[in-house]
């Protein structure tokens, strides 16, 4: 009774917060400050500074992570009983899980999948798991080799279905032979796709496989349906915040202050332009000049540009102009958008001051 | 700046930096079997490594040491074994229960399969040459019908039915059909029709075939040993299948149905009309459907609860709070018995992993005549633990010996059996009121009811007290309670149903002699009443007289009803002792509902935010907790940032956010965050100290990292091209 009351309260709280936030955004004048108002340091410097940020609370974090060690035996117990372990909470859990795996899971082989990377070849990972499991089965008993005729065929040439069938083979003895698959950031960019999750779920439900995974995203549970949660992954949740920095996990995330900042893009644009032919540079200059002199317009109409370029003998035909423009577009120097009167027009996605800076740089 | 975590960890994790960018890697291989045996040895060395000098040693020792005493003894292994035994008992009980409950439907389906098969066969059989040609036989269109069983699952969630369809497959196989189970995932647009066919071939031919060609299936079917048996294809959930793939599949099957007598069984979650909505019309006209229905989830639940929790198949039991939690989990989460079973398993695992004496359940289960421990005796440490349980302390047992423990356990078992008998009797009468067993259990487990009973002076069975009186004596069984309703119902039952009820009670109470006798008594009383009434019916007595005697008989049966209700009330009073009131119950009963809730229902959305907003509580650092509500520069950067973000609307201006972050971090004294937020620009200009200039890069780096961490947790949406200077908040409030 009290529980449902609490829940209602929470829901109310949530919706109230939401509307408060909306109101705050609507009523109060929206801040017009630009990111470019901050004097942002050079990207290289920023990256260097990121690398040696002074850690805070090192002692407390260490003892927090150490305190989880008392849970290791419980985790092993649950893993053995057929549950998958799912670690969540703020902070990188990579070191924690790997420490758990290498101290408490000595009797299992452990294969680690780094889900925080940009892409993962699951098939290759499964082949590696199969190899490890095969070794383990061979070690356990000589007679078992007879019951796995597929072992003769190299795993790399087997289909995913037959690999899964191999993982789901009968256990000779109860909990005799298992490979523990550790998946860091199972909700990471590489594994977010539905097909990856289906495959991981099928993998997790195999008799020779145990799974330990971590999630970082607040909405990670939306990746799974009832079947996956209840019968395949069979998660046992653990809230283990570590507050350890997401060092490896964040490696592929752009730094917000380095990304999309004007000096930066003007600089890259200059590098690209300098590598182009003088004619192409001149075409770009015309476009830039037009944009600077007509700051309120949405862009330069295509035929307008063509006329000017022809007049200045920069291009001889529309084909040559188009080839220049394709080059610009590929490097994101120029974009098209629909003009209010319906025709396509070209513009350079840079602020005026950045554009001026760029023009001065390529004129040098 | 390697965190000191890795310092205290074994070297294997420190040298894995090159592994961090590998897609996957083998962390280590399993130890060979012989070295694996001495697991306690490795446990010890691990502990020595773990003790990093920075830790307050005394605190860690007491906690870890105690855990170690219980966990790293050989008893851990015993507990694991006990869990395996107990859970396999529960699991097989559930399987049996579900099989029984589906049995009648399965038989019906089997019968229909046979009939359909005969109908197909009556259209004529192809000869061998015809059948092995790699194209279908062209006959009249009427022979292209596929017999299709639509199995209504009456359940919006399909998880429960996966098992049911698997069981159906096994059953039909045992009846001599060729069966393939296809899941709806296989009917995806991505896999296409080839995926389904390949899966069919794999299941029928027992081998992987690369080409997805149905003619392979036809020639397989022509083999001597396969011929003469129907081919059944089961699809678990038609609503989740891809429309076009399923339609194509049906078209192909219908082309080949003379060669391969396929009978289709599909699960339907909504209504019989759904195939009409899902399939293309040209596929639909090949179906000749027949309807079956499975039992409802609630019925299934009742049988599971009866088998596992009431009849005590395993000896494992749960406390009232856990029962209520599991009921709510069932009702409010998704109403699937799968989730309930999962919850139960989790409870079981938690019990065995936390209760040091739980391994005794195994022996407790096997014990027949008060020999719970057999000849073994527990070491002192364990014995001390047993007599230190709250339930034993409550009863102030003076002697602490193995014998007392053994006796206590067998008494526990005896009382538990009585409890289940009482609950089953209640359930039998509750069935007339459509009361769910789980609801009865939640009340029957209530430890409060026992306390109030204990406070009442035990007067024994009073012959003349009515059931109402009995309840008045026990205030916890209030009028609104389900148990009360079940008892009340007995008083209003018509004779035939009362007769049935008494018969069932008779069967249930065989073990409790005194109750059993009373039931018999009532039964004979009722029989004689019945005999009298039927005799009077037979005799052609005058009408008026008949109605008079009818009245009298009714009155007398009413009194029998009353007696039965009183009997039930007494049964409850004297025998339905909730497990939490019994001595040593902690050994077999799982009570830690909080632990169960945490393990079953992860709540990352709330918890991760709470981590950031209240990180001092988790880290327990001395520097930040002092500052109370205001943000102190010593706090975790991401935590500061998230706290600051709370003051913005759904959009956060990156510039403002950066400035307020910077001023919070810079501010050496604990300035109020509001103040610092108001004048970020002036502050920036004012603070021209060299330190600031030097560390501008580092502030920006810290800001970037905090934003990145918030992005990883999904609490922020990054700037878009339309709004390059704003990030968007995703979560509002915990």
The CB density around residue B403, as the number of other CB atoms within 10 Å, is 11
Q: What is the pLDDT of residues B674-699, one digit of tens each?
A: 434 444 444 444 444 445 555 788 88
The C-alpha atoms of residue A12 and residue A170 are separated, in whole angstroms, by 51
CATH number at residue A191: 3.40.50.300
Percent of chain A having pLDDT more than 70? Answer: 84
Q: Which B-chain residues 185-214 have CB contacts (< 8 A) with chain A?
A: 185, 190, 202, 208
pLDDT above 60 for A17: yes
Number of domains in chain A: 2
Question: Which residues make up the CATH 3.40.50 domain(s) of chain B?
Answer: 123-295
Chain B residues closer than 8 Å to A119 by CB: 23
Minimal Cβ distance to B658: which of A38, A46, A63:
A38
Which pLDDT score, from 0 to 100, does residue B690 have? 45
Band of residue A236 on the pLDDT scale cut at 50, 70, 90: very high
Minimal Cβ distance to A217: which of B13, B349, B713:
B713
Tokens of B611: 């981590």
The C-alpha atoms of residue A113 and residue B19 are separated, in whole angstroms, by 10
CB contact under 8 A, B712 and A253: yes
Helix (H) or strand (E) holding B221: helix B214-222
Measured CA distances, B265 to B65, B150, B206 (Å):
58, 6, 21
Torsion of CA A267, A270, A271, A274, to 10 degrees: -160
> What is the distance of C-alpha B532 from the center of its chain?
52
Least confident of A230-234, A303-307, B191-195: B191-195
Pair A37, B661: CB distance under 8 Å: no
Q: Are strands B287-293 and B262-268 parallel, antiparallel or unpaired?
A: unpaired
Which pLDDT score, from 0 to 100, does residue A144 have? 47
Tokens of B207: 């081998």
Which pLDDT score, from 0 to 100, does residue A209 have? 92
Strands ordered across the beta sheet of A344-347: A300-301, A344-347, A335-338
3-state secondary structure B656-682: HHHHHHHHHHHCCCCCCHHHHHHCHHH
Q: Please tell me whether residues A214 and A285 are part of one structural domain.
A: no
pLDDT-flagged residues of chain B (< 70):
1-17, 32-73, 123-143, 156, 208, 224, 364-377, 397-398, 450-480, 532-550, 553-554, 625-629, 668-694, 734
Q: Which neighbouring-strand residues pair with B235?
A: B182, B266
Nearest CA in chain A to B604: A218
- The last residue of one of the domains, among A193, A224, A239, is A239
Helix (H) or strand (E) holding B716: strand B716-717
- The last residue of one of the domains, among A173, A205, A239, is A239
CB contact under 8 A, B55 and A63: yes
Is A135 part of the contact surface with chain B (CB cutoff 8 Å)? yes
Cα angle, residue B392 at apex, residues B387 and B393 outer, rounded to 5°: 90
CB contact under 8 A, A109 and B704: no
Fill in the DSSP letter of residue B330.
I
A348 in a domain, yes or no?
yes
Q: Please tell me whether residues A66 and A183 are part of one structural domain.
A: yes
Q: Please tell me whether residues A234 and A278 are part of one structural domain.
A: no
- The last residue of one of the domains, among A239, A272, A293, is A239
CB contact under 8 A, B648 and A99: no
CB contact under 8 A, B328 and A3: yes
Q: Which A-chain residues 319-338 have CB contacts (< 8 A) with chain B?
A: none
Chain A residues closer than 8 Å to B33 by CB: 139-140
Q: Which B-chain residues 43-82 have CB contacts (< 8 A) with chain A?
A: 46, 50, 52, 54-56, 60, 63-64, 67, 71-72, 76, 79-80
CB contact under 8 A, B708 and A31: no
CB contact under 8 A, A106 and B42: yes
Selection from B290, B196, B190, B203 nearest residue B250 by Cα: B196
A283 in a domain, yes or no?
yes
Chain B residues closer than 8 Å to A108 by CB: 30
Tokens of B360: 């005794």
Is B677 part of the contact surface with chain A (CB cutoff 8 Å)? no
Chain A residues closer than 8 Å to B86 by CB: none
To which residue do tokens 């850690």 refer? A55
CATH number at residue A278: 1.10.10.10
The CB density around residue B252, as the number of other CB atoms within 10 Å, is 17
The C-alpha atoms of residue B562 and residue B493 are separated, in whole angstroms, by 10
Q: Please tell me whether residues A232 and A279 are part of one structural domain.
A: no
Which pLDDT score, from 0 to 100, does residue A158 have? 82
Is A176 part of the contact surface with chain B (CB cutoff 8 Å)? no
Q: Please tell me whether residues A130 and A63 are part of one structural domain.
A: yes
Which pLDDT score, from 0 to 100, does residue A195 have? 87
Nearest CA in chain B to A129: B26
- Best-predicted range by mean pLDDT (A78-92, A135-149, A240-254, A261-275): A78-92
Which pLDDT score, from 0 to 100, does residue B10 have? 40
To which residue do tokens 């004007």 refer? A262
Q: What is the pLDDT of residues A159-178, one digit of tens each?
A: 888 888 888 888 766 556 88
Tokens of B318: 């749960």
Is A23 part of the contact surface with chain B (CB cutoff 8 Å)? yes
Q: Which residue has the higher pLDDT, B136 or A241?
A: A241
Q: Are strands B651-653 and B726-729 parallel, antiparallel or unpaired?
A: antiparallel
Phi, psi (degrees; rounded to nearest 5) at A172: -65, -50
Phi, psi (degrees; rounded to nearest 5) at A56: -105, 155
Q: What is the pLDDT of residues B652-671, one digit of tens each?
A: 888 889 888 888 888 754 44
Torsion of CA B163, B165, B171, B177, to 10 degrees: -150
CB contact under 8 A, B54 and A59: yes
A256 in a domain, yes or no?
no
Band of residue A213 on the pLDDT scale cut at 50, 70, 90: very high
The CB density around residue B207, as the number of other CB atoms within 10 Å, is 8
Give A272→chain B minimum CA distance, Å. 22
The CB density around residue B651, as the number of other CB atoms within 10 Å, is 20
The C-alpha atoms of residue B327 and residue B437 are separated, in whole angstroms, by 11
Chain A residues closer than 8 Å to B719 by CB: 35, 256, 260
The CB density around residue B214, as the number of other CB atoms within 10 Å, is 20
A31 in a domain, yes or no?
no
Pick the CATH number of B123-295 from 3.30.1380, 2.40.128, 1.10.238, 3.40.50: 3.40.50
Chain A residues closer than 8 Å to B733 by CB: 13-14, 16-18
The C-alpha atoms of residue B340 and residue B338 are separated, in whole angstroms, by 5
Beta-carbon-side half-sphere exposure of residue A77 (alpha carbons within 13 Å): 27
The C-alpha atoms of residue B152 and residue B448 are separated, in whole angstroms, by 42
Is A246 part of the contact surface with chain B (CB cutoff 8 Å)? yes
The CB density around residue A176, as the number of other CB atoms within 10 Å, is 15
Q: Which residue has the higher pLDDT, A294 or B378?
A: A294
Q: Please tell me whether residues A275 and A143 are part of one structural domain.
A: no
Pair A253, B711: CB distance under 8 Å: yes
Report DSSP letters for A225-286, one per residue: -HHIIIIII-EEEEE-------TTTTTTSPPTTTTT-HHHHHHHHHHHHHTS-HHHHHHHHH
Q: Please tell me whether residues A217 and A348 are part of one structural domain.
A: no
Helix (H) or strand (E) holding B182: strand B178-182
Helix (H) or strand (E) holding A85: strand A84-88
Q: Which residue has the higher pLDDT, B462 or A99?
A: A99
pLDDT above 90 for A110: yes
CB contact under 8 A, B3 and A62: yes
Q: Please tell me whether residues A210 and A156 are part of one structural domain.
A: yes
The C-alpha atoms of residue A270 and residue B224 are separated, in whole angstroms, by 78
CB contact under 8 A, A63 and B87: no
Q: Please tell me whether residues A227 and A345 are part of one structural domain.
A: no
pTM given for the model: 0.76
Phi, psi (degrees; rounded to nearest 5) at A179: -110, 130
CB contact under 8 A, B64 and A48: no
Provide the domain limits for residue A286: 262-363
Q: Which B-chain residues 352-371 have CB contacts (< 8 A) with chain A?
A: 352-354
A193 in a domain, yes or no?
yes
Helix (H) or strand (E) holding B403: helix B402-430
Q: Which residue has the higher pLDDT, A262 or A178?
A: A178
CB contact under 8 A, A34 and B725: yes
Chain A residues closer than 8 Å to B600 by CB: 237
A and B: number of Cβ contacts within 8 A: 368
Is B611 part of the contact surface with chain A (CB cutoff 8 Å)? yes
Which pLDDT score, from 0 to 100, does residue B201 have? 86
- b/e sequence B446-459, b meaning 16+ C-beta within 10 Å: bbebbeebeeeeee
The C-alpha atoms of residue B32 and residue B34 are separated, in whole angstroms, by 6
């Amino acid at each position: 009774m009290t529980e449902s009351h609490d829940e209602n309260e929470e829901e109310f709280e949530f919706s109230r917060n939401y509307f408060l936030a909306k109101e705050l955004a609507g009523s109060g004048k929206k801040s017009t400050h630009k990111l470019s108002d901050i004097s942002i340091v050079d990207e290289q410097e920023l990256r260097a500074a990121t690398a040696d940020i002074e850690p805070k609370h090192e002692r407390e974090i260490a003892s927090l992570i150490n305190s989880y060690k008392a849970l290791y035996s419980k985790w092993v117990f649950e893993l053995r009983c057929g549950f998958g372990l799912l670690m969540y909470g703020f902070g990188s859990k990579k070191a924690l899980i790997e420490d758990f795996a290498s101290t408490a899971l000595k009797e299992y082989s452990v294969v680690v999948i780094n889900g925080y990377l940009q892409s993962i070849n699951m098939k290759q990972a499964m082949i590696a798991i199969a190899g490890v499991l095969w070794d383990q089965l061979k070690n356990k008993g000589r007679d078992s080799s007879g019951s796995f005729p597929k072992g003769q065929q190299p795993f790399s040439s087997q289909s995913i279905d037959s690999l899964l069938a191999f993982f789901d083979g009968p256990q000779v003895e109860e909990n005799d032979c298992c490979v523990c698959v550790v998946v860091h950031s199972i909700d990471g960019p590489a594994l977010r796709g539905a097909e990856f999750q289906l495959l991981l779920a099928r993998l997790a439900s195999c008799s020779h496989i145990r799974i330990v995974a971590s999630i970082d995203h607040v909405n990670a549970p939306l990746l799974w349906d009832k079947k996956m949660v209840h019968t395949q992954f069979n998660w046992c949740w653990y809230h283990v915040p570590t507050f350890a920095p997401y060092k490896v996990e964040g490696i592929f995330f752009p730094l917000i202050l380095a990304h999309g900042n004007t000096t930066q893009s003007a600089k890259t644009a200059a590098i690209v332009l300098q590598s182009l032919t003088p004619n192409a540079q001149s075409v770009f200059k015309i476009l830039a000049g037009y944009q600077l002199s007509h700051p309120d317009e949405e862009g330069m109409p295509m035929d307008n540009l063509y006329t000017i370029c022809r007049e200045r003998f920069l291009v001889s035909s529309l084909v040559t102009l188009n080839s220049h423009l394709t080059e610009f577009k590929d490097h994101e120097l120029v974009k098209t958008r629909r003009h209010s009167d319906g025709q396509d027009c070209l513009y350079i996605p840079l602020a005026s001051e950045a554009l001026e800076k760029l023009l001065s740089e390529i004129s040098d | 700046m390697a965190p000191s975590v890795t310092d205290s960890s074994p070297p294997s994790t420190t040298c894995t930096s090159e592994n961090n960018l590998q897609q996957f890697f083998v962390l280590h291989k399993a130890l060979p079997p012989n070295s694996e045996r001495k697991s306690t040895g490795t446990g010890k060395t691990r502990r020595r490594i773990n003790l990093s000098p920075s830790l307050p040693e005394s605190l860690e020792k007491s906690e870890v040491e105690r855990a170690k005493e219980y966990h790293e003894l050989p008893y851990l292994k015993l507990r694991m074994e006990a869990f395996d035994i107990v859970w396999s008992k529960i699991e097989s009980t559930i399987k049996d229960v579900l099989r029984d409950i589906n049995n009648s439907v399965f038989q019906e389906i089997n019968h229909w399969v046979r009939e359909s098969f005969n109908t197909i066969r009556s259209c004529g059989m192809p000869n061998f040459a015809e059948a092995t040609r790699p194209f279908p036989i062209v006959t009249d269109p009427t022979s292209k019908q596929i017999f299709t069983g639509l199995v209504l699952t009456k359940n919006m969630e399909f998880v429960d039915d996966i098992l049911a369809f698997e069981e159906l497959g096994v059953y039909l196989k045992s009846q001599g059909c060729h069966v393939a189970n296809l899941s709806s995932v296989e009917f995806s647009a991505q896999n296409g029709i080839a995926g389904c066919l390949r899966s069919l071939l794999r299941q029928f031919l027992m081998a992987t075939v690369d080409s997805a060609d149905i003619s392979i299936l036809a020639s397989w079917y022509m083999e001597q040993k396969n011929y003469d048996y129907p081919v059944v294809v089961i699809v678990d959930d038609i609503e989740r299948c891809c429309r076009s793939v399923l339609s194509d599949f049906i078209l192909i099957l219908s082309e080949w149905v003379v060669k391969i007598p396929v009978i289709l069984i599909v699960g339907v979650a909504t209504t019989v009309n759904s195939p009409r909505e899902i399939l293309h019309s040209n596929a639909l006209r090949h179906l000749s459907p027949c309807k079956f229905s499975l039992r409802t989830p609630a019925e299934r639940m009742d049988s599971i609860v009866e088998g596992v929790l009431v009849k005590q198949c395993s000896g494992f039991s749960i406390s009232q709070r856990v029962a209520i939690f599991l009921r709510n989990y069932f009702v409010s989460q998704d109403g699937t018995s799968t989730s309930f079973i999962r919850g139960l398993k989790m409870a079981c695992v938690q019990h065995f992993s936390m209760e040091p004496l739980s391994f005794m359940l195994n022996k407790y289960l096997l014990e027949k005549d008060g020999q719970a421990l057999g000849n073994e005796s527990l070491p002192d440490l364990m014995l001390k633990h047993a007599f230190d349980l709250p339930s034993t302390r409550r009863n102030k047992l003076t002697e602490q010996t193995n014998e007392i423990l053994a006796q206590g356990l067998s008494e526990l078992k005896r009382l538990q059996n009585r409890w289940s008998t009482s609950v089953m009797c209640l359930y039998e009468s509750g069935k007339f009121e459509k009361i769910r067993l789980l609801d009865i259990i939640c009340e029957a487990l209530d430890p409060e009811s026992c306390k109030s009973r204990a406070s009442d002076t035990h007067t024994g069975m009073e012959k003349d007290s009515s059931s109402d009186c009995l309840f008045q004596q026990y205030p916890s069984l209030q009028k609104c309670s389900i148990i009360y309703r079940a008892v009340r119902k007995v008083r209003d039952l018509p004779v035939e149903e009362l007769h049935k009820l008494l018969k069932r009670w008779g069967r249930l109470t065989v073990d409790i002699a005194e109750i059993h006798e009373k039931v018999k008594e009532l039964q004979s009383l009722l029989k004689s009443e019945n005999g009298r009434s039927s005799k009077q019916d037979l005799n052609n007595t005058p009408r008026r007289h008949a109605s008079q005697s009818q009245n009298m008989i009714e009155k007398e049966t009413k009194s029998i009803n009353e007696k039965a209700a009183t009997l039930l009330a007494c049964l409850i009073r004297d025998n339905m002792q909730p497990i939490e009131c019994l001595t040593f119950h902690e050994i077999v009963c799982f009570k830690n509902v909080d632990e169960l809730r945490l393990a079953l229902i992860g709540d990352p959305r709330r918890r991760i935010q709470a981590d950031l907003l209240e990180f001092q509580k988790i880290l327990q650092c001395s520097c930040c907790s002092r500052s109370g509500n205001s943000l102190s520069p010593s706090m975790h950067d991401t935590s500061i940032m998230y706290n600051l973000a709370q003051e913005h609307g759904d959009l956060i201006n990156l510039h403002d956010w950066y400035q307020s972050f910077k001023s919070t971090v810079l501010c050496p004294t604990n300035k109020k965050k509001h103040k610092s937020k108001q004048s970020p620009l002036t502050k920036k200009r004012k603070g021209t100290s060299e330190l600031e200039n030097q560390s501008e890069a580092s502030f920006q780096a810290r800001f970037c990292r905090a934003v990145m961490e918030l992005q990883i947790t999904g609490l922020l949406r990054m700037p878009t091209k339309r709004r390059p200077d704003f990030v968007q908040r995703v979560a509002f409030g915990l």
